[in-house]
């Protein structure tokens, strides 16, 4: 079964689905929704089969496929997945059916075309799978740029508020980052032996001049730091997250932003090991600043969607210090954080969207005591918030703990300062919940008929799988960490770092 072309089929399936959905007449919106949902479930099913076919103790890159593309550049349609890519592909496969079901009634048919919206979602899934499955640097760059197009139209055409401003800002920020990457991709081809194959480049880049490698590293890093986003390249995310439909925002922060941290792990660290070690202190400083700065901004937000966007910037700071701590614990925690953040923040954005759809407003001040009207929805909101702040027993706690303990073993000061982010997370999450669903009932809510409707059956099917995964991975993350660990260890071997040996105190006992 491992000979089956999983990655090329998985990449093309959503694109074919997008074409099918896009050609469905606008008047047949329900058919378009059903086709999109079924198509995404087929992708999920095939992804599960691929997960089961992955051999933990096998080669670093599995399911490799390579097809001729541009022979004169040695650019090929090459696909392969290590453990890091595999868990991200599974996250994509899980989130898209959930988001499609959550977005069932998001499109006003009198103004916009529902088939077009769901076709854009499937197109976006095509680009997301492609960017994580690519094992050719030029192919990765193409997917990195193309994925902007469906999200640009989703935000600009189907969003709310300053949607056109947010869409243009999102596109321009990402495009500028892509230009930095393009310069480095061209430079890498010139000095790396006129090839774009990732495996060959890992070997050939060892001979690159130190200064050249550092400049090439910076080109990639800036593009990925904008995409993640890391401080100070973060300002596009609150605008985009606030303007995008809730389901699309869940994909934006749950999946698309992970391209940035994935790119740092795959390309910056493995292709430029010396430059990665050289830049690590600066990267960790930016990550820690991002944790504190974004957390403080989140506390002061009155818009629920912007608030959740700022929490994501803070969470990406934890992922950043995990990556550049260069320990197996921190690296595994960072990758696991990417998965868990996608589940927790995806759930939080979706639930916020349910509140916004009922109230007709995303402003915290327009709620107050909403739990008295929709107690089940409020309970799910409470759980999503607790998962977002990494409560023990939920999946994000495991990843955050691994990041901090792995970072503390080599960079104690960064880990201690980052821990302040946990305190601030409790502040902004609990304050958000208290102002929205607790306390005295806002009389204006009783005048909104939709606010009297608790979770529907469809909405229960939306939140149930995410809640289940957050709980299961909170108590038993081993199936995921077993897949991640070998890939992280191989990446650290590329960087040329090893885990610190346990310290030994005077009486001969092993210390921390």
Q: Out of 85-99, 289-303, 306-320, 496-510, pick the least confident.
A: 496-510
pLDDT at res. 452:
84
User: Would you kindly state where each structural domain of the chain is located, as residue ranges?
Assistant: 6-496
Residue 121 pLDDT > 90, yes or no? yes
Q: Report the alpha-carbon distance of residue 245 to residue 159 in Å, rounded.
A: 5
* pLDDT band (50, 70, 90) for residue 512: very low
Residue-level length of the chain:
512
Determine which of 24-33, 120-129, 134-143, 465-474 has the lowest per-residue pLDDT on average: 24-33
How far, in Å, CA of 119 to CA of 19, rounded? 7
User: Considering the chain, what percentage of its residues have pLDDT values greater than 90?
Assistant: 77
Bond into 378 cis (ω within 30): no
192 φ, ψ (degrees, to nearest 5): -100, 15
CA distances (Å), origin 303, targets 124, 241, 436: 26, 11, 11
pLDDT, residue 197, reads 92
Burial (0-12, 13-18, 19+ Cβ within 10 Å), 447: exposed
Give 123-166 pLDDT, tens digit per residue.
999 999 999 999 999 999 999 999 999 999 999 999 888 899 99
Give the mean pLDDT of 23-39: 93
Which pLDDT does position 450 carry in this prediction?
85
Per-residue pLDDT, 275: 94
The 3-state DSSP class for residue 317 equals helix
Tell whether the model's pLDDT for residue 504 goes beyond 80. no
d(CA 497, CA 134): 26
| pLDDT mean over 7-12 | 96
Q: Give residue 503's pLDDT band: very low, low, confident or very high (50, 70, 90).
A: low
Q: Is 310:238 a contact under the CB 8 Å cutoff?
A: yes
Place of tokens 């990843």: 399
Confidence of residue 465 (pLDDT cuts 50, 70, 90): very high
425: left (phi over 0), alpha (psi -120 to 50) or beta: alpha
pLDDT of the residue at 263: 95
**Cβ contacts of residue 4 below 8 Å, gap of 6+?**
53
Using CA atoms, how far apart are residues 377 and 380, in angstroms rounded to an integer? 5
How far is residue 288's CA from residue 416's CA, in Å, rounded to a whole number? 10
The answer, yes or no, to whether residue 25 has pLDDT greater than 70, is yes
The confidence score (pLDDT) of residue 203 equals 87
pLDDT tens track for 349-375: 999 999 999 898 889 888 988 889 999
What is the rounded distance in angstroms from the CA atom of residue 436 to the CA atom of residue 320? 31
Model-level pTM?
A: 0.94
Q: In whole angstroms, what is the distance from residue 437 CA to residue 440 CA?
A: 9
Do 336 and 487 meet the contact criterion of CB atoms below 8 Å apart? Answer: no
Under 8 Å between Cβ of 199 and 135: yes
The CA distance from 54 to 453, in Å, is: 44
With CA atoms as reference, report the closest residue to 81 among 31, 153, 131, 44.
Answer: 131
Q: What are the E-state strand segments in 278-413? A: none
pLDDT, mean of residues 65-74: 92
List CB contacts of 142: < 8 A, sequence separation 6 or more.
none
The pLDDT of 238-263, averaged and rounded, is: 92
**Cβ atoms within 10 Å of 37's Cβ, excluding its own:** 17
- What is the 3-state composition of the chain as percent helix, strand, coil, each rounded to the nearest 5? 75, 5, 20
Q: Which two tokens stand for residue 463?
A: 């939140």
pLDDT at residue 496, rounded to an integer? 85
Tell whether the model's pLDDT for residue 507 goes beyond 60: no
Q: What is the mean pLDDT of residues 468-487?
A: 96
Q: What is the mean pLDDT of the chain?
A: 92
Q: Is the pLDDT of residue 231 over 90?
A: no
491: Cα separation from own chain's centroid: 20
Phi/psi for 79 (5° steps) reads -120, 145
The answer to whether 196 and 137 have CB atoms below 8 angstroms apart is: yes
Residue 269 has pLDDT above 60, yes or no: yes
Identify whether the C-beta of residue 326 lies closer than 8 Å to the C-beta of residue 410. yes
Q: Is the pLDDT of residue 510 over 60?
A: no
């Amino acid at each position: 079964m491992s000979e089956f072309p999983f990655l090329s089929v998985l990449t093309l399936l959503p694109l074919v689905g997008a074409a099918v959905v896009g050609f469905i007449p606008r008047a047949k919106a329900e058919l378009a929704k059903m086709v999109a949902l079924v198509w995404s479930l087929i992708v999920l099913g095939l992804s599960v089969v691929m997960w089961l076919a992955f051999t933990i103790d096998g080669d670093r890159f599995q399911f490799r496929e390579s097809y001729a593309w541009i022979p004169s550049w040695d650019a090929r349609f090459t696909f392969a997945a290590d453990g890091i890519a595999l868990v991200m592909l599974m996250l994509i496969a899980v989130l898209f059916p959930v988001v499609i079901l959550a977005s069932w009634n998001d499109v006003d048919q009198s103004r916009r075309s529902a088939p077009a919206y769901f076709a854009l979602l499937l197109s976006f899934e095509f680009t997301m799978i492609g960017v994580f499955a690519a094992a050719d640097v030029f192919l990765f760059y193409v997917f990195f740029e193309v994925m902007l197009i469906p999200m640009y139209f989703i935000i600009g055409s189907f969003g709310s508020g300053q949607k056109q401003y947010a869409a243009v800002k999102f596109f321009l920020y990402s495009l500028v980052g892509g230009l930095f990457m393009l310069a480095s991709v061209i430079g890498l081809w010139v000095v790396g032996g006129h090839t774009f194959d990732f495996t060959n480049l890992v070997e050939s880049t060892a001979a690159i001049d130190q200064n050249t490698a550092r400049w090439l590293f910076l080109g990639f890093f800036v593009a990925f730091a904008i995409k993640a986003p890391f401080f100070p390249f973060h300002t596009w995310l609150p605008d985009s997250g606030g303007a995008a439909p809730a389901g699309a925002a869940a994909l934006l922060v749950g999946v698309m932003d992970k391209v940035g941290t994935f790119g740092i792990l795959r390309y910056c660290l493995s292709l430029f090991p010396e430059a990665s070690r050289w830049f690590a202190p600066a990267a960790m400083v930016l990550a820690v600043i991002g944790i504190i700065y974004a957390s403080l901004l989140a506390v002061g937000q009155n818009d629920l969607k912007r608030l959740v966007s700022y929490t994501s910037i803070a969470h990406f700071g934890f992922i950043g210090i995990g990556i550049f701590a260069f320990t197996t614990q921190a690296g595994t925690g960072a990758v696991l954080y990417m998965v868990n953040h996608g589940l927790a923040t995806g759930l939080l954005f979706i639930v916020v969207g349910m509140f916004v759809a009922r109230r007709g407003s995303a402003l915290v001040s327009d709620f107050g005591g909403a739990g008295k009207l929709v107690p089940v929805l409020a309970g799910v909101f409470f759980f999503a918030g607790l998962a977002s702040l990494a409560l023990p027993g939920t999946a994000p706690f495991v990843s955050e703990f691994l990041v901090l303990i792995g970072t503390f073993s080599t960079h104690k000061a960064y880990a201690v300062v980052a821990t302040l982010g946990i305190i601030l997370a409790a502040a902004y999450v609990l304050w958000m919940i208290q102002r929205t669903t607790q306390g005295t009932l806002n009389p204006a809510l009783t005048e909104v008929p939709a606010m009297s409707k608790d979770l529907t059956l469809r909405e229960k099917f939306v939140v149930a799988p995410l809640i289940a995964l957050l709980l299961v991975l909170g108590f038993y993350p081993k199936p995921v960490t077993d897949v991640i660990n070998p890939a992280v260890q191989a990446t650290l071997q590329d960087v040329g770092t090893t885990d610190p040996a346990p310290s030994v105190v005077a009486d001969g006992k092993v210390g921390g």
